[in-house]
Amino acid sequence: MKIDMTRYLPILTWGRDYNRSALSNDLVAALIVTIMLIPQSLAYALLAGLPPEAGLYASIVPIILYAVFGTSRALAVGPVAVVSLMTAAALSNIVEQGTMGYALAALSLAGLSGIILLTMGLFRLGFVANFLSHPVIAGFITASGIIIAASQLKHILGIDAHGHNLLEVVISLTQHLSEINWITAIIGILGTGFLFWVRKGLKPLLQRFGLSNGLTGVLVKTGPVAVVVATTVAVWAFGLADKGIKIVGEVPQSLPPFTLPSFSTELLGQLLLPAFLISIIGFVESISVAQTLAAKKRQRIDPNQELIGLGAANIGASLTGGFPVTGGFSRSVVNFDAGAETPAAGIFTAVGLAIAALTLTPLIFFLPKATLAATIIVAVLSLVDFSILKRSWNYSKADFSAVLATIVVTLTMGVEVGVSAGVGLSVLLHLYKSSKPHIAEVGQVPGTEHYRNILRHDVITTPQIVTLRVDESLYFANARYLEDKIHNRVAGDKKIRHVILLCSAINEIDLSALESLEAINERLNEMNVKLHLSEVKGPVMDRLEREHFLSQLSGQVFLSQFEAYEALKVLPNA
Amino acid sequence: MKIDMTRYLPILTWGRDYNRSALSNDLVAALIVTIMLIPQSLAYALLAGLPPEAGLYASIVPIILYAVFGTSRALAVGPVAVVSLMTAAALSNIVEQGTMGYALAALSLAGLSGIILLTMGLFRLGFVANFLSHPVIAGFITASGIIIAASQLKHILGIDAHGHNLLEVVISLTQHLSEINWITAIIGILGTGFLFWVRKGLKPLLQRFGLSNGLTGVLVKTGPVAVVVATTVAVWAFGLADKGIKIVGEVPQSLPPFTLPSFSTELLGQLLLPAFLISIIGFVESISVAQTLAAKKRQRIDPNQELIGLGAANIGASLTGGFPVTGGFSRSVVNFDAGAETPAAGIFTAVGLAIAALTLTPLIFFLPKATLAATIIVAVLSLVDFSILKRSWNYSKADFSAVLATIVVTLTMGVEVGVSAGVGLSVLLHLYKSSKPHIAEVGQVPGTEHYRNILRHDVITTPQIVTLRVDESLYFANARYLEDKIHNRVAGDKKIRHVILLCSAINEIDLSALESLEAINERLNEMNVKLHLSEVKGPVMDRLEREHFLSQLSGQVFLSQFEAYEALKVLPNA
């Protein structure tokens, strides 16, 4: 068997046609993204409970590996807010933050997550992510954003606090509120305020000066760099570090180190579920960004190859001092808007970050943690969006319940329980709905061969024929319900001689349902009523032909409901 | 609000019309069932790891409470094989068999199970049992029967052994095989052989002597009583108890005692999952028997009231020295065949058993445990039936996988994990199937208004129109799949101007799917292709009208596919 290498190594496709124009576009994009990523990487390391350099390391090798294996041309891979929060939540349950064991566990989490993603990709299991419904994701991102913002308040106020859900964080903040460090608070609040203004106020201002939409967008995204420079200089110049303000401190000048994650059985057991959830959430976030950007240039994203790309990136993160990564929304959009044409832009970004890790780290010695917290808060609050609650309330109470449960459980019990509750409830509600299917009695729309619900349309019916359209596949969860429904409809009406099951909406009949149909056929036969089927779909019919049911059926199977009705209405009424 | 008491107290209905003919029929049935139940109750107590009298107690008050609250006229409630095995499996994990704590935990398990059943009944949650598919139940019963039979071999051979799955039992038996007690083994093997002969050989013999089918059935079921009497007398007469044969020993002469279950939080936490599984399995077993027997007399069973009846019975068991009970197959069939007309037969049976508990217990002092084991083995081996494997293999590989997983996991890991694995796998396979729905491209069947798959039928199509019939409801798990499918079909074919989604099989569109439809509409629009819907069902249309989608739709919504095709095929091809 010849393996198409370009499928597993997309770099072979875009690399072949690489030219000077793409090179210059990619270089410009890489420069802008690098500047934006320096503060963002440090901030997300802080959020994940890790030393700042881990954020830089997690952005270097992973971005290169994704460039080799990934299918998106614009996706930028690295630490992102929600996954960093989930990392902190997973690790804090196991080891104490700030210890070597914590950093080691972060490597293991990234490695495990990488293996999970890679395995899912190789076995083409990308569909698993589909079980995260859009409303559940929206609710989860909103709730996570709130928790992240709340958890960063401690850095803004210069106090100690902890917790991985909103309740814990708020209680802990309240308890330590008296220890507030006012200098930290002033820097934190000013920084946050400035960044909000950059988002809301600066963009219109720049546009009024005639700058293009794309360029203002990029400029606005580099706002954090300005705050970083200003507050670092202020702390250094006024000696604020001696006044209790917490700073980043010494960061090693080094390329990403070679690291080996721990794979002790106990640790793996504890990390397996969090790693799975991080993989799925990271994959869903990443693929959504990738598909949005690809659609704008009519490019194709292969979900299973994306799993491989993200898996490789996470394994890379675990081997080079990082932590779990995925394709980030804001960094990818900046990359795209700045004109990146190929994943080479990602490789150049990695080079830029490597240079920064080697040379610039002494410059951030005096960078206040409050500044990083401010950049996190402003970034995540843009994710918070409660409109999904209103929309789902209007459209479907089942979707609404799933969103509400996701938000409430995430806020009160943390990210892992929250997303599991959302997925679990969506699946249960879906099963519940299909366990009590809509069953319509239908009649002929006059002058057509078309049959519709007798309660909604003016249709023609005949007393001795009842046609029931079951609006659901028949399977174990609703098999008994159908038995009851048909029994109840026929038992009271002595005129009925024929029951036609209009099967146009029945996409599957499993063995439980087949046994129920046999029981229905037998019971109707005892009441001297014949059971017919119409419009049975090809795949369903194929399956029925493997069993005895069709030979036991008291009535016939008709290709169309019209044929069935025409044939049966002329039969003698006996 | 006036509450219809007869709904919650079915005894008010049948009690009102009670007459002398019913009385004499019920008395005869009760006598036969009582004789049959004495050895069976003792045996199932042994299986559950409890003293023999617990089996009698579990058959007295529960049967009366079911008679008051249950809707089946013939169901006999008490200890049954599978539930007794599940009881032993649940309790042995927590307390040591033979201790007071074990009996107390059995009361708690019954009480908790009763509360679960009662709650499910009051909240009308009977549908939960539907998630146990027929094949999974069949596989579970078969595997349980094998485990039970194997676990009883220790009594037959007079050795010590333990274990709650086949592996453990077989290993334990092998280890102790050298300790075999030959007298016990002879009695056990002869007893088992005799009982098998009663089932297979005696029935044809009696029928040859002209006895009616019903009477032979009843006589055969009392076979165990003969073995009990014979072996008890033998042990007493030949002083076999001194030769190492294990006997039932002293059983108190007493009515069921008043007992209070322990409800310590720790115990309840450990028992909650087993109690839930026991409730569901017990309910499914009971309702299947009840419905089979009711159908023969055209009576109705109300599943939710059955939950209340079984809940009351289990609470009764927990308050009177019993253990979890449910409606049993063999005892109910004997009751029915012996002519029971109303639940009063159950009340008379309870009286009979109470008299037995008060007076007959000294007579079973010398009853060998091997005899009870023999009755259990013969009873449960009739439950073992592997034909479901073959049937499901032929019909559907998904059903087959669920059965196989249930059997294998139950045998190797025990009943609780086994049934959970079966249910979990069925649900996952169902979701998986619906996440990759069958999507057929359809065309007009010549001379009709009917549209079928172009790959299966000779149909008429038009190059600029593609009609896709999605054979599944659209929901989160398959929303993205539809996006990909439509994109792939349209992207390569420049002639296409209209895509019609034939929605006859779409029973629901949830919010995730709606968002996907919006994305599809937008993308098709960019390619200058219009999206139309046809045959949208009423409930789905109602829902769509609450959102903006219909106003954004580039095409139209048609009542029937025929109308859609007629309208679009005459449009200019632009």
Q: What is the per-residue pLDDT across B322-343, written as a single tens digit (0 to 9) for each?
A: 999 999 888 888 888 888 888 8
Interface contact flag, B476 A133, Cβ < 8 Å: yes
List CB contacts (< 8 A) between A394 and chain B. 546-547
Q: Are residues B99 and B222 in the same domain?
A: yes
8 A C-beta contact, residue A327 and residue A288: no
> Are A347 and A496 found together in one domain?
no
pLDDT score for A353: 93
Which residue among B449, B476, B512 places its CB closest to the CB of A450? Answer: B449
Mean pLDDT for the stretch of residues B225-239 = 88
In this complex, the residue of B431, B475, B539 whose CB is nearest that of residue A438 is B539
A295–B523 C-beta distance less than 8 A: yes
Determine the Cα–Cα distance for residues B372 and B47; give it in Å rounded to an integer. Answer: 9
d(CA B30, CA B15): 17
**Nearest by Cα to A519 from B437, B134, B278:** B134
Q: What is the rounded distance in angstroms from the CA atom of residue B269 to the CA atom of residue B273? A: 8
Cβ within 8 Å, pair A395-B480 = no
Mean pLDDT over B215-226 rounds to 78
Inter-chain residue contact B134 with A438, CB threshold 8 Å: no
In Å, how far is A281's CA from the nearest CA of chain B? 15
Among candidates B477, B478, B507 on the partner chain, residue whose Cβ is nearest the Cβ of A472: B507
- For A132, which residue in chain B has the nearest alpha carbon? B476
Instruction: Note whether A397 and A448 are same-domain residues.
Output: no
Tens digits of residue pLDDT in A423-464 = 889 988 888 888 888 898 999 989 888 888 898 888 999 989
In chain B, what residues touch A478 (CB-CB under 8 Å)? 130
> A403, A430, A449 — which closes off a domain?
A403
Name which residue leads in pLDDT, A190 or B221: A190
- Say if B309 falls within a structural domain: yes
A-chain residues near B515 (CB < 8 A): 134
Q: How far apart are CA A34 and CA A222, in angstroms?
A: 10
Tokens (6 digits) for A225: 């760099």
In a domain, B97, yes or no: yes
* Last-in-domain residue among A403, A428, A458: A403
Residue type, A235: V
Q: How far does the CA of residue B236 sit from the closest CA of chain A (Å)?
A: 51
CA-nearest residue of chain B to A389? B511
CA closest to A479 among chain B residues: B130
Contact A133 B473 (CB under 8 A): no
Kindly state whether residue A81 falls inside one of the protein's structural domains: yes
Q: What is the pLDDT of residues B408-432, one digit of tens each?
A: 999 999 888 898 899 889 988 888 8
**Residue B193 belongs to some domain of the structure:** yes
Q: Which of B135, B523, B546 is opposite residue A512, by nearest beta carbon?
A: B135
Which of A395, A438, A483, A558 to probe by mutation at the B interface, max B CB count within 10 Å?
A: A395
Q: What CATH number has the domain bearing residue A455?
A: 3.30.750.24
Mutation target among B291, B483, B504, B508 for the A interface, most CBs of A within 10 A: B508
- Judge whether B489 lies within some domain: yes
**Could you tell me the end-to-end alpha-carbon distance of chain B, in angstroms, rounded to an integer?**
65
pLDDT at B457: 87
Domain finish residue from A351, A383, A403: A403
Q: Tell me the residue length of chain B.
A: 574
pLDDT of residue A240: 84
Residues of chain A with pLDDT under 50: 1, 574
Given this model, what pLDDT does residue B216 score?
A: 78
Both B122 and B218 in one domain: the answer is: yes
Three-state DSSP at A45 gives helix
What's the gap in Å between the CA of A538 and the closest CA on chain B?
8
Query: What average pLDDT does the structure give for chain B?
Result: 88
**A143: helix, strand or coil:** helix
Quick one: closest CA in A to B505, which residue? A505
Which residues in chain A touch residue B490, judged by CB atoms under 8 angstroms apart? none
Residues sharing a CB contact under 8 Å with residue A534, sequence separation 6 or more, in sequence order: A467, A500, A501, A502, A503, A557, A558, A559, A560, A561, A563, A564
Taking the model in full, what pTM does it have?
A: 0.79
Kindly identify which residue of chain B lies nearest to residue A527, measuring between CA atoms. Answer: B298
Cβ-Cβ contacts under 8 Å, B539 against chain A:
438, 471
Condensed to tens digits (0 to 9), the pLDDT of residues A515-565 reads: 889 988 988 888 889 999 999 988 899 999 988 899 999 999 998 899 999
- Contact predicate B118/B308, CB 8 Å: yes
Residues in chain A within 8 Å Cβ distance of B395: 511, 514, 543, 546-547
Residues A91 and A186 in one domain: yes
Mutate to test the interface with B, among A511, A520, A560 (most CBs of B within 10 A): A511
Task: State how many domains chain A has.
Answer: 2
pLDDT at B109 over 90: yes
- Residues A497 and A465 sit within 8 Å (Cβ to Cβ): yes
A302 close to A71: Cβ distance less than 8 angstroms: yes
Radius of gyration of chain B (CA): 30
Please report residues of B whose CB lies closer than 8 A to that of A508. 433
Domain span at residue A521 reads 439-569
Q: Give the minimum alpha-carbon distance from B11 to chain A in angstroms, rounded to a whole number.
A: 23
Closest B-chain CA to A471: B507
Question: Which residue of A487, A512, A522, A559 is the best one to mutate when testing the B interface, meaning the one whose CB has the most B CBs within 10 A?
Answer: A512
Is there a contact between A450 and B537 if contact means CB atoms under 8 Å apart?
no
Site from A71, A132, A134 to mutate, B interface, most B CB atoms within 10 angstroms: A134
Per-residue confidence (pLDDT) for residue A402, from 0 to 100: 93
Predicted pLDDT at B574: 47
What is the per-residue pLDDT for B202? 82
Smallest Cα distance from B39 to chain A, Å: 35
Residues B374 and B483 in one domain: no
Query: Are both A480 and A535 inside the same structural domain?
Result: yes
A355 vs chain B: nearest CA distance in angstroms? 40
Kindly state whether residues A228 and A322 are assigned to the same domain. Answer: yes
From A108's Cα to the closest Cα of chain B, the distance in A is 29
Query: Is residue B276 domain-resident?
Result: yes
Inter-chain contacts counted by CB atoms under 8 A, chains A and B? 173
Q: Going by C-beta distance under 8 Å and a sequence separation of 6 or more, which residues neighbour residue A288? A: none
Q: For helices B134-157 and B369-381, what crossing angle results, to 10°?
A: 160
Q: Is the pLDDT of residue B434 over 90?
A: no
Q: Which residues of A touch B135 (CB under 8 A)?
A: 511-512
- Write down the pLDDT at residue B573: 58
Nearest-neighbour CA in chain A from B567: distance (Å): 15
Please indicate, yes or no, if residue B128 is contained in any of the structural domains: yes
**Chain-chain contact of B449 with A453 (C-beta, under 8 angstroms):** no
**Alpha-carbon gap, residue A399 to B569, rounded angstroms:** 38
pLDDT value of residue B403? 93
Sign of CA dihedral B527, B530, B535, B540: positive
For chain B, counts of helices (H) and of strands (E): 25, 8
User: Could you say which of A440, A537, A562 has the minimum Cβ distance to residue B471?
Assistant: A537
Same structural domain for residues A42 and A144? yes
What are the C-alpha distances in Å from B137 to residues A286, A512, B140? Answer: 41, 10, 5
Structure tokens at A67: 């460039």
Can you tell me the mean pLDDT for B131-146? 89
Q: Is a pLDDT exceeding 70 seen at residue B7?
A: yes
Say which of B395, B481, B547 has its CB closest to residue A511. Answer: B395
Residue of chain B with shortest Cα separation from A545: B395
Mean pLDDT, residues B500-513: 89
Q: Which residue in chain B is spatially nearest to A478 when comparing CA positions?
A: B130
pLDDT at B189: 93
Tell me if A504 and B508 make a contact (CB, 8 A cut-off).
no
Residues A332 and A452 placed together within one structural domain of the fold: no
Check whether residue A468 and residue A344 sit in a common domain. no
Inspect the interface and report whether the beta carbons of A449 and B448 lie closer than 8 Å. Answer: yes
User: Which residue intervals of B436-560 are DSSP H helices?
Assistant: 476-491, 511-526, 538-544, 549-552
DSSP A500: E
In a domain, A515, yes or no: yes
Whether residues B109 and B219 fall in one domain: yes
